[in-house]
Amino acid sequence: MAVLAETQNTSLKGKSMRKFKILLAGTVAALAMSGAAHAQRGTDGDLKILFWQAVSTLNPYLSGGTKEVYSSSMVIEPLARYDETGALVPWLVTEIPTVDNGGVAKDMKSITWKLKPGVKWSDGSDFTAEDVVFTWQYCTAPDGGCAQKAQFEGITNVEAVDKQTVKVTFSEPKYYPYGAFVGAQQPIIQKAQFKDCVGAKAPGCTSANFGPIGTGPFVVKEFKPNDVITFTANPNFRDATKPAFASVTLKGGGDAASAARAVLETGEYDYGWNMQVEPEVLATMLKAGKGVLVNSFGTQVERINVNWTNPDPKLGDKRSTVEGGKHPALSDPAVRKALSMAIDRDIINEAGYGEAGKPTCNIVPAPDAYISTTNDWCLKQDIEGANKLLDEAGWKKGSDGIRAKDGVKLSFLYQTSTNSVRQGTQALVKDWWQQIGVASELRNVSASVFFGGDPASPDTFQKFYADLEMYTNNFDGTDPEKYLAEWLCDKIPSPANGWQGQNIPRYCNPDYDKIVAELSKTADLKKRAELAIKANDMLTAEGAHIPLIHRGQISSHSATLVGVKMNAWDSELWNVADWSRKK
Amino acid sequence: MFTYTIRRLMFAVPTLLVISFVIFALLDLAPNDPLGDLPLTIPPEVREQIRASMGLDQPFLIRYLLWLKQFFVNEPLNIIEQLFGITIGDGERMRVLSWATRSPVVDLIVQRLPQTLWVVGMAYVFGILIAIPVGVISAYRQYSIFDQIGTFVTMVGYSVPTFFTGVVLIVIFSSYLQWFPSIYDTNLVVNDWSSFVAQVKQMILPVTVLALYNASQIARFVRASMLDNLSQDYVRTARAKGVKEKVVLLVHVLRNSLIPVVTVIALGVPTIFSGAIITEQIFRVNGLGQLLITAVQGADIPLVQTLTFIFAVLIVLFNLIADVLYGILDPRIRYD
């Protein structure tokens, strides 16, 4: 592994060293004050968290929804997770395995995790390698419908070498081996509790799914599905001084605006998740001075996908497929570029996102090592330039002010999901496109239909029966390999694969496929970043999509709550053990 | 009357079966998808497997018959087992499972029922208690100032939607005055005076919103019915006989006027169970209404199907009760 990996590794070592020293100091102090440290756990009373989408289950393997992943992260934990900067942190293990420390095999076909000694489940039993092995068996069992199964792709075996060592073997060299058991999506569950719940039996184990036993700072006391969860501090938590709160109440339901009010205005709650509220509404609420907003930028990008195939209804079954032929107007690169140039991303951000967004021209917007500036021309609106580009390409304005060439008019159907911010963006974009002689018809589809993926519905984003469509997508963790593979030629949705591909724009470029193939064979992190940037630049430059806004996660917390480190790479509640009440 | 009731109950069975089929078919045709809320990072192949684990890969008719069996055979058997503490057969049978929570639907409903009955039921009772005197006085003193104000308030209460009154009350009493909480605490256990006060406090706002709405509706009925009866011959006769005005009004007129009102009230009872969807959502009461709306949004079909079917049963049942009550209250009506 090259420079970047090493620096990351040494910084990790440095960090854990520092942590260790602090811990040591803490223990000494605790010994000196004889038990004073013990009094610290549970001294700060009840922590009240509000999720405006209620939590349905505490088993993230059976749901996959963000709200379930976040809420369960207070109880069950992964081997390693991402901190607020996106760096890997050893969580239930002693260190992050690398080639240098011998944790990752030289041929990249296996990774060995060393578990932290002395970690206990909340019921007092030992946390062992068997539990990690079981978690893999649980999620990959047939008929289980495990939502995180993709994270275990390419793993042939997970074995317990001894009580404290887990070896994960891959079928092929895995150049980014930190997929399985890393991040809030794949926490370790207890074998003793779930051993009779494998495969088709998984949904039937209601009491286990509603109250998983974990290694985390809190224990589930009562779970009322889609309503409220009560947690108490875990008496067997590995750090005897944490958590500071004795209990947590996580209430669900309602809407984002009233959740913001409960934290920022009335102060009834300490933490409110996902404040998707118009910036000016939040600004008035903040004036009450009871709470603050926190944000963090992960990998979410709001984009307009460009349909490279022809969505003409006359084509029948061949509509929006490669067989149906190229799009009559959008196959012209000048048109795709002009559409992007005409947009003022700053205004979209100001109107709909505020602190929760920033304009972007990238499809891979983070982490820092992967950010490209090649296409930053798009950050500045250029109506004049767009008009000129279209003139040069031979698209002439007609009497109705709409450009046309060879009988093809620049008139597009622009669809998205129903959501007030998205409809606001649509209206703004329509106006700018009007100024370059492009007409657009706006359409919005209910989110549960649009993202539902029902092959029988004509309104899903996969079918793309429109010229342009807008939504947000992202990737888990910090490595974009899987995400960039979505634009491969063989991932194009079609009736043959039940519209299941992820290459929504139907973009196909053999050169692009080559870059992604190379990426999957590169171990060196610096080289990986270079390749990812190359792929990212290609997608934007060729106009597979029009990136708009790099979306952050925005939450709010009470002014009396300290220790919150907003994290878009992992669960927002990842460091809940460190939260405390301001004295 | 008894044979009539039996006959009606017999008729109800095929009606309800047809209703259950229609609900199932409608839900199946709706383009909603239970996986619509999942992050896009979950790839299509995995989604397909999740769908299969929910039984969505089965054909429509099989899924319907399975639900019928689960609802009409397995669930009642399960209730009997729990009531008497016995095990019938091997005790292992598939219950109706929600797709979102993966837990038995009936347990969810049982968990939600108390909140809804307390908040929405209380609002209904208060609504009736307010509506009857207001309706009576308005009718007796028709076109007086009381009647004018009463008419105005009931018209406003009836026409302004609860999502508006709810938010206005929260802004005034929770945000500005900070008298009452804006979020209902479903974990609150009433076991002493202070927790009782807390319970009353958190119920005041949602109950006010709903009571205003219910009272407005019923008060209009009471007023109209009282006006009909006040001009009847028997009222004049009673007055001519020298019966006291109080007795005329409260014994003769009110009793007769209540006959149609009672049926209206009986027909409204099922709506208590279906919860006040919007009000529960605004105050996060998390009763049956909130359960239904989250299930609809998340395309949790087994839950929506079971809930709407139970509501259908209640509506059919209370229609029958209203008819029977009508017969008992008004001796002129005979069904046999």
| DSSP symbols for A447-509 | HHHHTT--TT-TTSTTT--SSEEEEEE--SSS--HHHHGGGSGGG---GGGTT--S-TT----
The single residue listed with the structure tokens 């795709």 is A336
Q: Would you say B213 and B231 are in contact if contact means Cβ atoms under 8 Å apart?
A: no
pLDDT digits (tens, 9 = 90+) for A318-348: 899 999 999 999 999 999 999 999 999 999 9
Does residue A32 register a pLDDT over 70?
A: no
- Please tell me the distance from the alpha carbon of residue B306 to that of residue B309, in angstroms, as a whole number: 5
**A453 lies within 8 A of chain B by CB:** yes
Contact (CB<8Å) A254/B111: no
Contact (CB<8Å) B102/A454: no
Which runs of consecutive H residues, i.e. helices, occur in A141-278?
191-194, 206-210, 256-264
Closest residue in chain A to residue B47, using alpha carbons only:
A147
Q: Which of A227, A271, A490 to mutate to test the interface with B (most CBs of B within 10 A)?
A: A227
Which pLDDT value is given to residue B91? 64
Q: How many CB atoms lie within 10 A of CB A314?
A: 8
Does residue A439 register a pLDDT over 60?
A: yes
Contacts of B53 in chain A (CB under 8 A): 143-145, 200, 202-203
Does residue A11 register a pLDDT over 60?
A: no
Which residues make beta-bridge pairs with A396? A404
Contact (CB<8Å) B286/A258: no
Give the CA distances from residue A323 to residues A461, A487, A500, A506, in Å, rounded to whole numbers and listed in that order: 19, 18, 16, 11
Q: Say what the pTM is.
A: 0.85
Residue B148 phi, psi dihedral angles, 5° rounding: -60, -50
Compute the nearest-CA separation of A378 from chain B (Å).
Answer: 26
pLDDT digits (tens, 9 = 90+) for B2-29: 888 898 889 899 999 999 999 999 988 8
Contacts of A256 in chain B (CB under 8 A): none
Which amino acid belongs to residue B254? L
Which pLDDT value is given to residue B336? 64
Which pLDDT value is given to residue A215? 95
Query: At A179, is the pLDDT very low, low, confident or very high (cuts 50, 70, 90)?
Result: confident
Give the CA distances from residue B69 to residues A290, B96, B99, B303, in Å, rounded to whole numbers and listed in that order: 53, 9, 18, 15
Contact (CB<8Å) A262/B182: yes
Closest residue in chain A to residue B295, using alpha carbons only:
A226
Closest residue in chain B to residue A63, using alpha carbons only:
B100
Contact (CB<8Å) B102/A209: yes
Instruction: List A residues 306-365 in contact with B (Cβ-Cβ < 8 A).
Output: none
Q: Would you say A468 and A305 are in contact if contact means Cβ atoms under 8 Å apart?
A: yes
Compute the nearest-CA separation of A289 from chain B (Å).
Answer: 13
Q: Show Cβ contacts of residue A325 under 8 Å, excluding neighbours closer than 6 positions.
A: A309, A310, A315, A318
Which pLDDT value is given to residue A208? 93
Buried b or exposed e, range A226-241, using 16+ CB within 10 angstroms: bbbbbbbbbeebbeeb
**B45 lies within 8 A of chain A by CB:** yes
Does residue B57 register a pLDDT over 90?
A: no
Instruction: List B residues 179-208 in contact with A (Cβ-Cβ < 8 A).
Output: 181-183, 185-187
Which pLDDT value is given to residue A359? 95
Does residue A390 register a pLDDT over 80?
A: yes
Q: Would you say A453 and A460 are in contact if contact means Cβ atoms under 8 Å apart?
A: yes
| Dihedral angle sign, alpha carbons of residues A433, A437, A438, A444 | positive
- Please tell me the distance from the alpha carbon of residue B115 to that of residue B119, in angstroms, as a whole number: 6
**B271 lies within 8 A of chain A by CB:** no
- Please tell me the distance from the alpha carbon of residue A113 to that of residue A138, in angstroms, as a whole number: 19
Share of chain A above pLDDT 90, in %: 65
Does residue A1 register a pLDDT over 70?
A: no
Out of A225, A262, A501, name the one closest to residue B103 (CB). A225
Q: Which of B78, B103, B113, B303 to mutate to test the interface with A (most CBs of A within 10 A)?
A: B103
Contact (CB<8Å) A147/B40: no
The pair of structure tokens assigned to A348 is: 């979209």
Contacts of B181 in chain A (CB under 8 A): 266, 268
- Please tell me the distance from the alpha carbon of residue A175 to that of residue A84, in angstroms, as a whole number: 24
Does residue A272 register a pLDDT over 80?
A: yes
Mean pLDDT of B226-242: 91
Which runs of consecutive H residues, i.e. helices, occur in A97-140?
129-140
Which pLDDT value is given to residue A200? 86
Going by C-alpha positions, the residue among B54, B17, B23, B76 that lies closest to residue B307 is: B23
Q: Would you say A155 and A182 are in contact if contact means Cβ atoms under 8 Å apart?
A: no
Instruction: List A residues 52-71 in contact with B (Cβ-Cβ < 8 A).
Output: 54, 56-57, 59, 62-66
pLDDT digits (tens, 9 = 90+) for B246-294: 999 988 899 889 888 888 888 888 888 876 888 888 888 888 988 998 8
Give me chain A's average pLDDT, please: 88
Mean pLDDT of A285-307: 93
Share of chain A above pLDDT 70, in %: 93
Out of A227, A453, A459, name the one closest to residue B47 (CB). A453
Contact (CB<8Å) A226/B33: no
Q: Would you say A409 and A403 are in contact if contact means Cβ atoms under 8 Å apart?
A: yes
Share of chain B above pLDDT 70, in %: 98
Contact (CB<8Å) A258/B52: no
Contacts of B170 in chain A (CB under 8 A): 258, 261
Compute the nearest-CA separation of B123 from chain A (Å).
Answer: 20
Contact (CB<8Å) A258/B290: no
Does residue A5 register a pLDDT over 50?
A: no
Compute the nearest-CA separation of B205 from chain A (Å).
Answer: 15
Does residue A31 register a pLDDT over 50?
A: no
Give me chain B's average pLDDT, please: 88
Does residue A578 register a pLDDT over 80?
A: yes
Contacts of B49 in chain A (CB under 8 A): 144-146, 149
**A72 lies within 8 A of chain B by CB:** no
**B92 lies within 8 A of chain A by CB:** no
Contacts of A210 in chain B (CB under 8 A): 103
Instruction: List B residues 107-146 in contact with A (Cβ-Cβ < 8 A).
Output: 107-108, 111-112
Contact (CB<8Å) B186/A144: no
Does residue A22 register a pLDDT over 80?
A: no
Q: How many CB atoms lie within 10 A of CB A176?
A: 18
**A419 lies within 8 A of chain B by CB:** no
The single residue listed with the structure tokens 């199932």 is B24
Instruction: List A residues 256-295 in contact with B (Cβ-Cβ < 8 A).
Output: 258, 261-262, 265-266, 268-269
Q: How many CB atoms lie within 10 A of CB A434?
A: 14
Contact (CB<8Å) A50/B48: no
Compute the nearest-CA separation of A34 from chain B (Å).
Answer: 37
Contacts of A64 in chain B (CB under 8 A): 38-39, 42, 50
Which pLDDT value is given to residue A547? 95
Q: Report CA dihedral (A366, A367, A372, A375) to the nearest 10 degrees.
A: 10
